[in-house]
Amino acid sequence: MRVILFLATLLASGPLFAQSAAHERMKALQADPATLQAAVVAGKKASFFCANCHGENGVAKTSDVPNLAGQHPAYLLEQIRKFGAGERKDAFMEGLIKVLNNEERAQIALYYASVTVPPSKADVSQIAHGKVLFDKLCARCHGADARGSELYPRLAGQQQPYLKKSITHYRDGTGVRNNQLMRIATAPLKNEDIVSLSHYLTQLP
């Protein structure tokens, strides 16, 4: 009985071991500037299949796909793990990520984190109201500059249509990713508020 319980524990904790190994490897790569630079170069090569949707420099080719450039490497690595484990659902992403080892996952995360995100054009008349909404509802988690953290994604510089669509999905509970905190934060937003918020965020550097 103990053997069965032990094996069950190992199986249940498998993704955690994989996550820990990839994160530890990323920390090791970050410890030395030369090693980090080599990892960034390798990550650019390893991410060749990501460029089809997310762009060669991590800036998405279409407005319905998120930018990966400028995201916190730990946040990116965790999203890679979730896709690989099937915790985030996308048949295309799941299949691609499963072929990556821990080294390649860490390298890709470090590469995209190293790329600067160019801000996008916005409707200037929407920015002031969008900032008020962001400071009130979003800054606590996503940061005062909207650049995210290990736990929360960077919103600054994302394309306006993508932001508008994603925020609306969270508010309405219609997206693939349902998050209770996001549902609460976005609940007060009217459609015009979401437009203002998306214009504010897209023009941030």
Write the DSSP assignment of 50-119 as a string of letters: THHHH-TTS--SSTTS---TT--HHHHHHHHHHHHHTSS--HHHHHHHTT--HHHHHHHHHHHHHSPPPP
CA distance linking residue 110 with residue 108, whole number of Å = 5
Same domain, 164 and 198: yes
Instruction: Taking residues 82-88, report their average pLDDT.
Output: 90
Same domain, 21 and 110: yes
CA distance linking residue 8 with residue 177, whole number of Å = 28
Instruction: Taking residues 167-196, report their average pLDDT.
Output: 93
Range of the domain at 101: 14-114
Lowest mean pLDDT: which of 25-29, 168-172, 173-177? 173-177
Same domain, 55 and 108: yes
Same domain, 155 and 131: yes
Lookup result for tokens 């896709």: 83
In a domain, 131, yes or no: yes
Same domain, 76 and 102: yes
Supply the pLDDT for residue 187: 97
In a domain, 2, yes or no: no
In a domain, 88, yes or no: yes
CA distance linking residue 95 with residue 77, whole number of Å = 16
In this prediction the pTM is: 0.87
CA distance linking residue 67 with residue 115, whole number of Å = 11
Domain termination residue (choose one: 114, 136, 153): 114
Same domain, 61 and 92: yes
147: CATH? 1.10.760.10
Domain count within the chain: 2
Answer yes or no: are the C-beta atoms of 76 and 70 closer than 8 Å.
no
Flag whether pLDDT at 11 surpasses 80: no
Same domain, 105 and 131: no
Which tops the pLDDT comparison, 201 or 16? 201
In a domain, 4, yes or no: no
Same domain, 69 and 144: no
Domain termination residue (choose one: 56, 79, 114): 114
Same domain, 36 and 90: yes
Same domain, 93 and 164: no
